[in-house]
Amino acid sequence: MTALPVDFAQLSVMVVDDNRHMRALICSILRALSIKKLKEVGDGEAALEEITAFQPDILITDWHMEPMDGTTLVKALRHSSVETTRYMPIIMLSGHSDTTRVREARDSGVNDFLTKPVSAKSLLARLITIIENPRPFIKTEHYFGPDRRRHDMGPPHDIAERRSGEAVAAEEAPAELSPEEVLAG
């Protein structure tokens, strides 16, 4: 079968960042990809207010925002009663690059994590990854979100409960990874 170009024009994206310059950068990249259905909001609360009406295919969110930060937003979305919202692909952008923070973002339920500063190439690569490789979701007592093992980002905090689960008996990531390895995806 002949490979056809990814048709970004089909997608809608919500960008959540409290810095309008950062939103301008991200939205400019997305518009250049031909994504026309875009919504910008300034924090997690505003995103929750708008998300049902806008129903984005992808959410791109900053971490450090007031009054509601990115990880709180992600957890709220993963607990949504609306199926499309609950399973929404989410990319988190952050100036934080240390392993602990990246794992915290992952454990909140993000699909992918991108360290700022963001380039067109790095954002495009993350979009392609989530478009081409949809990840199954895992539901445990303490976690609901994309399967964290897919990116080999280290053991999730509740790995013990997952070890004993039939569906998650296989691989286990190394205990410690450098930020680069964590982010390598």
In the complex, which residues of this chain contact other proteins (CB under 8 A)? Answer: 1-8, 10-11, 19, 21-22, 24-25, 28-29, 31-34, 57-58, 64, 83-84, 86-89, 93-96, 116-121, 123-124, 128, 130-132, 134, 136-141, 147, 160-162, 164-168
Q: Cβ 175 to other proteins, closest distance in Å?
A: 20
Q: Cβ 181 to other proteins, closest distance in Å?
A: 19
| Residue 6, both tokens | 């990814």
Q: Cβ 112 to other proteins, closest distance in Å?
A: 12
Q: Cβ 43 to other proteins, closest distance in Å?
A: 13
Looking at the DSSP assignment, which residues form a beta bridge with residue 113?
A: 92
Question: Please, which residue, 152 or 161, has the CB nearer to other proteins?
Answer: 161
Beta strands in 36-94 (DSSP E): 37-41, 58-62, 90-94
Between CA 23 and CA 108 the distance in angstroms is 22
**Full strand arrangement of the beta sheet holding 12-16:** 37-41, 12-16, 58-62, 90-94, 112-115
Between CA 141 and CA 158 the distance in angstroms is 9
Q: Cβ 177 to other proteins, closest distance in Å?
A: 20
Identify the H or E element spanning 102. Answer: helix 99-108
Question: Please, which residue, 12 or 45, has the CB nearer to other proteins?
Answer: 12
Q: Cβ neighbours of residue 182 under 8 Å, at least 6 residues apart?
A: 99, 102, 103, 153, 154
